[in-house]
Structure 1
Amino acid sequence: DKEGKQIGFGGGELSKIYKIDISNLDGRVKNAKFTIASDVKNPLCGPEGASAIYGPQKGATPEMIEILDKNLDHLAKIIKRDLGKDIKDLPGAGAAGGLGAALMAFLGAEFRLGIDLIIELVKLEDKMAESDIVVTGEGMTDYQTLYGKVPLGIARVAKKHNKPVICISGSLGEGYEELYYNGIEALFSIVNRPMSLEEAVKRGEGLLEKITINVFKTYLM
């Protein structure tokens, strides 16, 4: 801060940053290569940024989101001035509340969509070519899935091979319908009646089995 003291923890403290000193950064960082494997490609700030998109998910109010976004913008300006790196609008900078931006700024990390990295590692393209149908899923499928999460990545590979994709998730949230236009033919929630999150988690395995049986019985028809 202006008094030369380290700022405190949390996004609310970022506005106090006056300068960034990396003189104590481990020298081995310069000789190492870092890769960020992220499931989202949001920028750091703005309407598509970390605060606006993921703040509500973590319980932030509209007022808090506005403050957090301004504070991250301030951080980006200081990073640009002191480190010479403009990370504010880079894809993935907003991942994990801005951790993506930090890794890019301080470690020179390269951003990769996590699903692309996994697709390469497990040779999914080869497996996909031999399949009849593709099944994917996640905890909650909603508009955030469109920012590069696993089901979207799977669907893009499947589309190249003209394979139908079914998504079975814990729940379907706001905006999930957009995935119909992005390579997923059908989406299902494993929850089969009104229940608490605690009950859904406890019964997750059985609920997943039941919906999967119904999905494949329909497919086999």
Structure 2
Amino acid sequence: MHALIAPDKFKGSLTAAQVAEALALGITDAGRGWTATQLPIADGGDGTVAAAVATGWTRVGVAATGPTGRPLVAAYAVDGDRAVVELASVVGLSALPGSIPDPLGASTFGLGTMIAHALDHGARDIVIGIGGSSSTDGGAGLLQALGARICDSEGMDVGRGGGQLLRAARLDLTQLHPALANARLRVACDVDNPLLGPDGATTVYGPQKGATASDLAVLEIAMTNWAHVVADAVGRDESETPGAGAAGGTGLALFAALSAVPRPGIELVLELVDFESRLAEADLVITGEGCLDAQTLHGKAPAGVAAAARRRGTPVLAVAGRSLLDDEQLHRAGIAAAYTLSDLEPDPQTSIANAAALLRELGPRIVEETEHTRSTRQHHQATGAAS
């Protein structure tokens, strides 16, 4: 048997690569002659660059700025003229100094710096993972870093952050990075929120980024003004486009000003890591994430892996810290069974601390139960044929 091990990270515990390695060691421990390919994945958010690097892409470090303007070093991945850039690495909550939110001032400028660096070094097919944002600036900072000017009514440049967009009167895109004219931008986007209104970027995601009631009021007015400014500049209104509200409205700037195309995150990642060719060699796929729950069924990595494997008829198992899904839900998602660390260690903190060792314990169990199931099925088929 050859297993393709394609898990996402166990957030707060193990990276996707560490999950895959622990499982591969456990499969070897079983001593049944199984082989395994490790293929860590992500859903377009945190870990997407790492997934590309794990399959041979080159990691490129860049001096950029975090959401509040503080210098930091982040990384993207390249393979020829292709690049993968991760918003979370420069605009994520973890990039906030002291993890203190700045809902009115946080900016996507650092993301634009990363994209510009990739363009400067020959990238022309760029995938942008926009999960995990700490900002609500409508992607204004991203455009500023790429050469755009955002001016007030007196022609002065406005500052960074969503709060500054109250002053925005004109968007000048004439000095955008010249390489953008010949570049393809694809956005790993798994939400369909518009920019404005009760389902928009501010109302839905602002509170998660530390915005108070008064902050939310300011940001909604600022985003409304920004939507008009962008529409005037590009000649069309993209504020209602599904995903325009993603990552604090970053989707709006990407779609309207940069003609970026949204794609489900896991689909993009599976394409980047050449999942289909690896799948062709596999008898079994093992995927997983920290917690299997209702969100898993709606575009998260394990569901995407299972859907791709189902098209080829390859069985899929899942591993997780814990699972809130019943057997029927798992089967509908294309997952034959789930193996959880909580079955081995019920205490959550102990399980998190010892996740690698527990995953290695699950390896032999997966091998044994898979072989038993396979043997039983073959026996039934032989008996049926004989009768």
Q: Give me the TM-score of the superposition, normalised by structure 2.
A: 0.44
Q: Percent identity?
A: 35
In structure 2, what is the Cα distance between the partners aligned to 1:126 and 1:16?
A: 51
Deviations 1:117-170, CA, capped at 9 Å, x for gaps:
343344433433443322112345444444433222212111212333223235
8 Å Cα contact 1:41-1:148 kept in structure 2: no
Residue equivalent to 2:185: 35
The yes-or-no answer on 1:110 pairing with 2:261 is yes
- Which residues in structure 2 correspond to 1:72-151 (within 5 Å)? 72-151=223-302
- Which residues in structure 2 correspond to 1:1-221 (within 5 Å)? 1-30=152-181, 32-38=182-188, 40-45=190-195, 50-51=201-202, 58=209, 71-170=222-321, 172=323, 180-191=331-342, 192-196=345-349, 202-221=353-372
How far the C-alpha of 1:65 sits from its partner, in A, is: 6.3
Q: Whose relative contact order is higher, 1 or 2, with alpha carbons under 8 Å and at least 6 apart?
A: 2
In structure 2, what is the Cα distance between the partners aligned to 1:103 and 1:19?
A: 17
The amino acid that maps onto 1:184 is I
8 Å Cα contact 1:132-1:163 kept in structure 2: yes
Higher relative strand content: 2
Q: Alpha carbons of 1:42 and 1:15: their partners in 2 closer, same or farther (altered >3 Å)? A: farther
8 Å Cα contact 2:320-2:340 kept in structure 1: yes
Q: Alpha carbons of 1:58 and 1:76: their partners in 2 closer, same or farther (altered >3 Å)? A: same
Structure 1 range deviating more: 200-209 or 59-68 = 59-68
Q: Alpha carbons of 1:68 and 1:201: their partners in 2 closer, same or farther (altered >3 Å)? A: farther
The amino acid that maps onto 2:357 is G
Q: Secondary structure at the match of 1:36?
A: strand
How far the C-alpha of 1:200 sits from its partner, in A, is: 5.8
8 Å Cα contact 1:43-1:88 kept in structure 2: no
In the alignment, structure 1 segments of 5+ residues that lack a partner are none
Residue equivalent to 2:25: none
Q: Alpha carbons of 1:166 and 1:62: their partners in 2 closer, same or farther (altered >3 Å)? A: farther
In structure 2, what is the Cα distance between the partners aligned to 1:189 and 1:104?
A: 40
Q: Secondary structure at the match of 2:239?
A: coil
In the alignment, structure 2 segments of 5+ residues that lack a partner are 1-151, 373-387
In structure 2, what is the Cα distance between the partners aligned to 1:147 and 1:83?
A: 33
Deviations 1:67-101, CA, capped at 9 Å, x for gaps:
65665454334322322243334344344333333
Question: How many residue pairs are counted as aligned between the two chains?
Answer: 217
In structure 1, what is the Cα distance between the partners aligned to 2:283 and 2:154?
A: 64
Q: Alpha carbons of 1:20 and 1:129: their partners in 2 closer, same or farther (altered >3 Å)? A: same
- Compare CA radii of gyration and give the structure with the larger one: 2
Deviations 1:176-199, CA, capped at 9 Å, x for gaps:
x96653323334544533344xx6
In structure 1, what is the Cα distance between the partners aligned to 2:351 and 2:157?
A: 43
8 Å Cα contact 1:42-1:94 kept in structure 2: yes
Q: Secondary structure at the match of 1:42?
A: coil
How far the C-alpha of 1:11 sits from its partner, in A, is: 3.7
Higher relative helix content: 1
RMSD, aligned α-carbons: 3.9
Q: Alpha carbons of 1:34 and 1:189: their partners in 2 closer, same or farther (altered >3 Å)? A: farther
The amino acid that maps onto 1:33 is A
In structure 1, what is the Cα distance between the partners aligned to 2:363 and 2:203?
A: 34
Q: Alpha carbons of 1:131 and 1:99: their partners in 2 closer, same or farther (altered >3 Å)? A: same
In structure 2, what is the Cα distance between the partners aligned to 1:123 and 1:35?
A: 19
Q: Alpha carbons of 1:171 and 1:97: their partners in 2 closer, same or farther (altered >3 Å)? A: farther
In structure 2, what is the Cα distance between the partners aligned to 1:208 and 1:87?
A: 45
